[in-house]
């Protein structure tokens, strides 16, 4: 049996960051990644499907400056985010949060970013093994670190079992391994696989890589654009993210299993059609968005071609996004859940690479020290404010329809004084009655989730 200090399940941003942090501190770290092919990557690797945009203060959270990237990772420098409702628009030009990064943010090539993180982990001394699926884990919470018997035994698809003192779970929002491990550490009837079921608790995302005409690209260059209230579903929205060489990622996210028959005022959603009998496919939603925005001036299919050597398959990709609130880990059993597996890719779907990298790094640091008991306190101290804000915003807009988004953006323009950004929620009573109501709703949801209540599974629920 191979024996390591730290076994990491999943080689995406959280897993690679954990391997790097552990190996950098002298631990014997093994990262296990099952590996998937992509059109835009020469070797199998993690399921690198993500909208991949980073805001200024996220650079500080992640702890990696884009100056460290090799060529081709950074795609476009951002100067704004545009939030577009059915009739109203609100533009964010500053997050209002202090940051050491000089700029609003950037977009990046996610597969190249993952390759960078892998190379970084391997350079630090971690073993990054691709093509290995973890079939099961046996955990003995009573086994001590460095004892004759490992605390964790991993059954892999081929080869000998692997023993580890610390297990880092970084298998993303589908939680293929995580749910089974947590089920074994929870009392009967409290199954993580039920509470965190990917088929029920996730959103599904779809995006295409399309080359924009020069004038159309100039309009989106430097901006991440989101359309709200044009398609049904809680936190369901399309987007356009600019990449290099006039290529943009045009995509959307929506809840899994949405029933159109349960949608109120469906005629109010611009991307639905009267004869739709079911939720349109991702490809159809993208086509309708591009036709709506550019169809009067361009022939969308010929003027906005799909770049077939990009993305996962033929210039397109479909992937899950965690829609759960974050969970705490059974750290006392030597199990640390990171990134998307912990539901920490953002409850409001703002993006999660920064949180994945930072939680992975914290897990790797503590694993190398041999004392992981402080993990839940450590990650909450670093990203807790981010989690609380995102959960509060997601709760606040849960029942929003198209008119609600227009009202919010109309009020938001008055609240967004230059450089205020997220700080518009601090004191905006002077912006009028609408702003006061919006402010109070946000503060109420934030108050309800204070003191860690944004966490849906706490460490004291585990039984070991």
- Interval 212-235: pLDDT, tens: 999 999 999 999 999 999 999 988
Dihedrals φ, ψ of 174, to 5°? -80, -20
Confidence of residue 94 (pLDDT cuts 50, 70, 90): confident
- Interval 33-74: pLDDT, tens: 999 888 888 899 998 887 678 999 999 999 999 999 999 999
pLDDT at 222: 96
Q: Could you tell me which CATH number the domain at 2-79+100-198+324-390 has?
A: 3.50.50.60
User: Does 199 score more than 70 pLDDT?
Assistant: yes
pLDDT at 433: 56
Beta-strand runs (E) in 256-389: 316-322, 335-337
- State the Cα–Cα distance between residues 372 and 391, nearest whole angstrom: 26
Confidence of residue 143 (pLDDT cuts 50, 70, 90): confident
User: Does 394 score more than 50 pLDDT?
Assistant: yes
Percent of the chain with pLDDT over 90: 61
Using alpha carbons, list the distances in angstroms from residue 76 to 70, 108, 330, 403, 441. Answer: 14, 7, 39, 32, 35
**Is the pLDDT higher at 40 or at 429?**
40
Confidence of residue 350 (pLDDT cuts 50, 70, 90): very low
User: Does 147 score more than 70 pLDDT?
Assistant: no
Chain-wide mean pLDDT for the chain?
A: 89
User: Does 349 score more than 50 pLDDT?
Assistant: no
Q: Name the least confident of 164-178, 255-269, 314-328, 333-347.
A: 333-347
Confidence of residue 347 (pLDDT cuts 50, 70, 90): very low
- Interval 276-296: pLDDT, tens: 999 999 999 999 999 999 999
pLDDT at 7: 98
Domain ranges of the chain: 2-79+100-198+324-390, 200-321, 395-448
Instruction: Spell out a b/e string for 79-115, using b for 16 or more CB atoms within 10 Å of the CB, else e.
Output: eebbbbbbebebebbbbbeebebeebbbbbbbbbbbb
């Amino acid at each position: 049996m191979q024996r390591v200090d730290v076994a990491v399940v999943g080689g995406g941003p959280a897993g690679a960051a954990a391997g790097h942090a552990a190996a950098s501190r002298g631990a014997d770290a093994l990262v296990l990644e099952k590996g998937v092919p992509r059109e835009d990557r020469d070797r199998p690797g993690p399921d690198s499907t993500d909208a991949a945009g980073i805001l200024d203060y996220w650079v500080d959270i992640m702890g990696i400056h884009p100056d460290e990237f090799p060529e081709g990772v950074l795609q476009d420098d951002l100067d704004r985010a545009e939030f577009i409702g059915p009739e109203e628009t609100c533009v964010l030009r500053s997050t209002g949060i202090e940051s050491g990064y000089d700029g609003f943010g950037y977009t990046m090539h996610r597969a190249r970013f993952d390759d960078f993180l892998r190379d970084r982990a391997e350079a630090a001394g971690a073993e990054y093994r691709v093509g290995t699926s973890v079939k099961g884990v046996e955990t003995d919470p009573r086994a001590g670190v460095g004892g004759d018997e490992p605390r964790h035994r991993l059954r892999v698809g081929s080869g000998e079992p692997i023993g580890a003192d610390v297990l880092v779970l970084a298998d993303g929002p589908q939680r293929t391994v995580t749910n089974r491990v947590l089920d074994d550490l929870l009392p009967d009837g409290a199954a993580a696989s039920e509470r965190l079921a990917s088929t029920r608790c996730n959103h599904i995302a779809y995006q295409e890589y399309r080359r924009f005409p020069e004038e159309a690209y100039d309009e989106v260059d430097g901006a991440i654009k989101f359309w709200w209230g044009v398609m049904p579903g809680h936190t369901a929205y399309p987007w356009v993210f600019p990449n290099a060489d006039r290529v943009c990622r045009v995509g959307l996210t929506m809840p899994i299993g949405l029933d159109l028959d349960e949608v109120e005022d469906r005629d109010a959603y611009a991307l639905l059609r009267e004869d739709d009998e079911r939720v349109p496919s991702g490809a159809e939603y993208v086509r309708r968005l591009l036709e709506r925005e550019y169809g009067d001036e361009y022939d969308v299919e010929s003027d906005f071609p799909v770049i077939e050597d990009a993305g996962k398959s033929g210039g397109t990709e479909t992937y899950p996004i965690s829609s759960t609130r974050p969970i705490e880990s059974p750290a006392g059993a030597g199990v640390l859940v990171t990134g998307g597996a912990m539901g920490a890719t953002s409850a409001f779907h703002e993006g999660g690479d920064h949180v994945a990298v930072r939680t992975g790094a914290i897990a790797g640091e503590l694993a190398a020290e041999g004392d992981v008991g402080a993990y839940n306190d450590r990650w909450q101290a670093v990203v807790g404010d981010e989690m609380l804000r995102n959960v509060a915003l997601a709760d606040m807009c849960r029942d929003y329809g198209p008119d609600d988004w227009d009202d919010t953006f109309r009020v938001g323009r008055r609240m967004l004084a230059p450089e205020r950004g997220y700080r518009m929620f601090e004191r905006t009573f002077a912006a009028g009655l609408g702003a006061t109501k919006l402010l109070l709703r946000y503060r109420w949801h934030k108050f309800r989730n204070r003191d860690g209540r944004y966490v849906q599974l706490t460490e004291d629920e585990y039984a070991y």
